[in-house]
Amino acid sequence: MLAFIFILATSHNMKTTIGTFVPVEEVNPPENITVSDLGLLGHLEIHWNRPASLRNITDCTVRYQVEVFSAYENRWKGIRTSQTSVRDQFDLEQAVQLKLKTIVKGKCTNGTELHSSTVHLEQSPQHTGHASTRVRDFDCVFHQKEYMECTWRAKEEPQHSQRNLFYWHRDLEKPMECPKYLESHGVRDGCWFPKEALLEYTEFNICINGTSPMGPLRPAFYSLQLQNHVKPGVVENVSLELGPEKVFRLEWSPPTGQIPCHCLEYQVEAQESNVWLVSNITEETTFTPQITSNGRSCFRIRSRMHKYCADRGVWSEWSPQTCLPGHGAFPPVLSGTETGASFWNIILICTIVASTVTIFSLLVYLCMSKQILKGNNKNSSRCSLLAE
């Protein structure tokens, strides 16, 4: 019986095992594609079914190519998977755009990789609230990796309205509300996040919505990578010292905070004759400035996260200026802190000298006034005598 079946199979030029071989010449695209909002502020699930024509195929690999358009990055992103569902991040203020196709390869295709046609899917958002009530100028700063502040403005703020901020990341089961709102004149215009509420190197989704007596306010959605919003503190302990070979060396300490030292880069700027002339970026905490004139030279430093730890960084504030007076005779060099202390010392000395001069002048004046007064008394007596 088995021999008969084998002969029958070969007589029909079939190329696989008995009873399961189905040659595939044309591949159909995925079926029943759905997009589900999981309530995670833009983290959506895409699901589809295997084409009916491939459900009985066992001797070929069936995969799917999924492409999604990221409105945040303004580009298409694609993956290939053998699963029938994926999750990805979308901007819920923009249309959801997808491309899917089926890919089959194996014995059933004689080793050839076959592709189906591509299915395009676009799903437009359902906006609520007038566009003018959407917040604008939204910005978040992750200070020293210790806390984060997000702020916004509103083009129109209806009377008695109330805005709310919700956030979500992969370690949360559901969106959470802002831990602490920032307010200006009784109106919410920001949110303060403690370190414990934050998660880096993943999508950090934010939605700002609100209500008013006139109806809902237009919601705004954002998806952040928090490591790209880190702002270091001010560089510390800046000093400028003269080396044994009469070469100046600028040194400083990394700013305080939770940022690893290897994640920082520094910018050094030099000022001569009130013009900032030089800008250098270095990952070290020392720098040898090129001093080209005999006039006054000043330096300042700032830092940010470099490309090995973040796609982009936020510059810190500048350090206080560290200045070198006319250096022809190599005078003592003062750091930014010492410069400030020396300034107040000079003010104190000048005040003491001025007070001493004033007191001395007053004493001289009083002595002279006493002598003049005696002379005036004598003159008055003489006038009286003459008058008589």
Decide if 353 is inside a domain: no
Do the domain assignments include residue 7? no
Q: What is the dihedral of CA 190, 196, 202, 206, to 10 degrees?
A: -30
382 falls within a domain? no
95 and 40 within one domain: yes
CATH of the domain at 278: 2.60.40.10
Q: Do 49 and 105 sit in the same domain of this protein?
A: yes
State which residues form the domain around 224. 131-229
Domain shared by 274 and 290, yes or no: yes
* Residues whose CB is less than 8 angstroms from the CB of residue 48 and which lie 6 or more positions away in sequence, other chains included: 30, 31, 32, 33, 34, 64, 84, 85, 100
pLDDT in tens, 145-203: 999 999 999 887 888 899 999 999 999 999 999 999 999 989 999 999 999 999 999 99
Return the structure tokens found at 75. 């580009």
Q: Among 75, 92, 123, which residue terminates a domain?
A: 123
Report the number of distinct structural domains present in the chain: 3
Per the document, the length of the chain is 388
Q: What is the chain's Cα-based Rg?
A: 39
- Are 240 and 147 in the same domain? no
- Which of 209, 229, 249 is the last residue in one of the domains? 229
Residue-wise pLDDT tens digits, 246-286: 778 889 999 999 999 999 999 998 876 667 766 778 888 88
Give domain status of residue 27, yes or no: yes
Tell me what pLDDT residue 327 has. 46
194 and 212 in a single domain? The answer is yes
- Terminal Cα-to-Cα distance of the chain (whole angstroms): 171
Q: What pLDDT, on a 0 to 100 scale, did the predictor assign at position 12?
A: 33
Q: Are residues 119 and 142 in the same domain?
A: no
Decide: 176 and 166 in contact? Cβ < 8 Å: yes
Written as tens digits, the pLDDT of the chain (388 aa) is 333 332 223 333 333 333 455 678 899 999 999 999 999 999 999 999 999 999 988 899 999 999 999 999 999 999 999 999 999 999 999 999 999 999 999 999 999 999 999 999 999 999 999 999 999 999 999 999 999 999 999 887 888 899 999 999 999 999 999 999 999 989 999 999 999 999 999 999 999 999 999 899 999 999 999 999 999 999 999 988 877 777 788 899 999 999 999 999 999 988 766 677 667 788 888 888 766 556 667 889 999 999 999 999 999 999 998 887 654 333 334 444 444 444 445 555 656 656 665 666 666 555 555 543 344 333 333 233 223 3
